[in-house]
Amino acid sequence: MARKSFPQTYRYYMFHKPTGCVSACRDAQHTTVLDYFPPEERQGLFPMGRLDKHSVGILLITDDGKLNRRLLAPENHIEKQYHVWTAGNLSEEKLQLLQTGILVKGLQQPLRAKSVRMLQQEKLCDLPVPIFENRKFLLEEQPELLVSHLEILLTEGKRHEIKRLMEAIDCMAVALKRTSFAGIPLDEALQPGTYRNLTEQEQMLLLNLAQNANVSNSRGVNR
């Protein structure tokens, strides 16, 4: 990658994605992440990667397509850290299985997490993040239900990857928050639905990752 620094013509934002909006530039039916930006700022912007509609947490927004393609190419294994709250019996064997790999229906290669760490158990009614819309029935029926709070590090970007991993071990994800992307942690001072410019240090971290990315991926398609 020839660039020595980030050109001032490109924009890089950290956005705290709230629940209920989609990671898209436009959508006829749903609020998009760009709807949280003033109309005059939206031109050319797009989210780097995706977060499910009812998941929350860090999402980078930019208009730098080349950087986006290099970082999101699957072969480059950019790290993304999540906190997930899941209902169901979790044994040490199941936690290990998440890291060794699980073959799920519809995929030729197994899904696996780079690392999994159990943090604590919490009551469903006390979760600090919104519960998935299709899991709110649990909150009505079993508000005192204990759920496991996990920290999961992924280096791939399969659709609904964490939800599918949980289902594969007979558990059910009820809430999800992405806490870091490409080594950049979510700024917890950002309220859901707000954003800020990336700092110079954060920008340089992305640039260094892009410079070390597989050059063959530089013409990949936005994901």
**Residue linked to tokens 């609904």:** 160
The catalytic position among 52, 63, 126, 187 is: 52
Give SS3 for 175: strand
CA distances to 93, 162, 171 from 99, in Å = 10, 12, 15
Exposure string over 204-216, b if 16+ CB within 10 A, otherwise e: eebbebbeebeee
CA angle 216, 221, 223 (to 5 degrees): 120
**Strand bridging mode 184-185 / 172-181:** antiparallel
Is 27 part of the annotated catalytic residue set? no
Catalogue the active-site residues: 52
